[in-house]
Structure 1
């Protein structure tokens, strides 16, 4: 959308135009004729001079974001959809990120496919495609197959319901630092000598639980070459004058 503030302005404008809706695609199940639907769209397009709505109509199959919806024997079936021009943009396994982040990506993507897909046959097909994509990006095939089997054993109904937010009484002290080359070594040293702090007579009761390590994104080459906040460049004068 150009400027970074453009999405916010667009959301405010559309919220006022459509009453409590943000800028995004919508899926509409229409119980009527196609002529009435197109008439409604034309009427909506007459409400503003520059804002116009487009519509895709189908009696059998339609695409909504990354979901392919098909009507089969009176039922709506869904499966994962990818554009033919979509490229493999999965985060590479060898990128400089926290290893736990890299390990979590495949499981999250397989769960997403499981939630979207109605039939197990369609899920198996989508998961095989995702498997090949992850392998291309340097992920371990054996770990991927283990994750696939783990997700396949999960119930789609349970995944659609979600876990819900459970408020935990967590008293662990967070240790927040930027992820760098030696972060894991630092974590090992702190964990190794943490019992010494816990055994302290005066402060040990404050550190009963182990410390919680939380990592922020480390600096990348892009951050160095294209910083979000331009740095001041000192002007050097000839002969110090």
Structure 2
């Protein structure tokens, strides 16, 4: 074509033309349009008349491009191929032009002899690659062989070369693609192994076929796929093995689609494709929160749990090892995974049992075995744990009846034990108190709250004595949902003075002497406490004027 750059310029010129004339608004009958520089192959899914009309419209251009075409229903020539339809399938063989002549280098050429003998080998390999039928290869190989014999090549060597290529021992073997379990969001690797490769000239492409479609789309790194480079591994028999790998993160949108590995090699008549078949994508259920407990209007306990991000939709759920017919309300997320809110009702009396445990189990296709989550009354997420308030201590007066109260709220179930204890001053020993010791201890009466929990008020009445000074009253609360008893203390008690005025028990008057100018009166009081103001001592003195 003249200058070295001429094919590139011609190719660019034709590409711009076909972009505007063909691809911008392609007719619906156009099944295939392939071009190599100025040679074009078209497959038309319409009548001959509509094809000729389309070609005439292509010729109507201002670029001085004129197409000359040959239309046939059975056979066409394209480049060095003769393409024909036999039994509703395409078949190919090498096309020799009418002007083809025996222009091969003679054996007497001054070229290096191994180079010369590689010429018939290369031509025979081309014939082998182009011919899909063995019969066509034998016919065309013998034709080419005779041309080389006429150029002085040894006939026996040409025959041996034809036989070797016809029965070529090294044809790439493409293995099936093993498909691992594919989990949504988890990186997966697909591998296609190609063995018995020689020479090490291999081309591999990864394609993707959409669900309910026959179109195959090429995949690339830019599409979010990690496609590894091809690295040949030499084997003991001097052939090579390749492992084509592609990594990706499956999404639910990949469900039902196919990944295809297309392998091309000079010794393959046509590309070999291996498919994964329609993919099955699974998403393993996740549980992020604890079991939630709440009351119903009928005073039952409603247990609920959210199981999220699973696919496909079917899932099995058990509550306390009892499989439920109605698993719960299932909703679909934006990423096409599913979330279920499973609920189960338990009688309130269930939590009065020793060590009650609520257990929910689930099983999904993506799981090998059942998984579960439990809620125990000792778990920190358990909503109903008794809350024991501090004991408010009133002013305590000697001999006056006093009441101490300890309030316990958020109780469920209504199983509560309360004991009153007393700790002596300067001692760590605690003594239980009872009605027989002169204390009035009220019965525990639960008060139901709006949230269906209960509140208790533990009360003890007593008359403080001076002996109670510095001692402590302790309220000990026990409940099945408390790991250990909770104790609240009043702290050391302070007993205030008596409720009556101090009584005078003695009064003495002394007259002044010669050295005393005034008289002295001494008063004694009893029955009051403490010794601090308003009285500074048990005995008060007052000076009186003499006389």
TM-score (norm 1): 0.60
Q: Report if the CA contact (8 A) 1:62-1:68 is conserved.
A: yes
Which residue matches 1:81? 95
Which residue matches 2:163? 149
Whichever structure has more helix as a proportion of its residues is 1
Residue 83 of structure 1 and its aligned partner are, at CA, apart by: 2.3
Which residue matches 1:164? 202
Residue 6 of structure 1 and its aligned partner are, at CA, apart by: 3.7
Q: Deviations over 1:69-99 (max 9, x none)?
A: 2222212222222123321011222212222
Whichever structure has more strand as a proportion of its residues is 2
* Change in 2 beyond 3 A, CA 1:157/1:41: farther
For structure 2, list consecutive stretches of 5 or more residues without a partner in the other structure: 24-34, 174-196, 204-229, 233-547
Q: Which runs of 4+ in 1 moved over 3 A?
A: 1-9, 19-22, 155-159, 165-168
Q: Does 1 or 2 have the higher relative contact order (CA < 8 Å, sep 6+)?
A: 1
RMSD: 3.0
Which residue matches 1:64? 78
Local SS of the residue matching 1:58: coil
Which residue matches 2:15? 15
Which residue matches 1:233? none
Q: Which has the larger radius of gyration?
A: 2
Residue 38 of structure 1 and its aligned partner are, at CA, apart by: 1.4
Residue 30 of structure 1 and its aligned partner are, at CA, apart by: 1.5
Q: Deviations over 1:25-58 (max 9, x none)?
A: 1222221211221121122112324112222110
Local SS of the residue matching 1:15: helix
Cα distance in 1, alignment partners of residues 130 and 12 from structure 2: 30
Which residue matches 2:144? 130
Q: Say whether residues 1:109 and 2:123 are aligned partners.
A: yes
Cα distance in 2, alignment partners of residues 142 and 18 from structure 1: 49
TM-score (norm 2): 0.28
Q: Say whether residues 1:40 and 2:78 are aligned partners.
A: no
Count of residue pairs brought into register by the alignment:
168
* Change in 2 beyond 3 A, CA 1:103/1:135: same
Q: Report if the CA contact (8 A) 2:11-2:38 is conserved.
A: no
Cα distance in 1, alignment partners of residues 60 and 77 from structure 2: 26
Local SS of the residue matching 1:87: coil
Which residue matches 1:199? none
Q: Report if the CA contact (8 A) 1:114-1:156 is conserved.
A: no
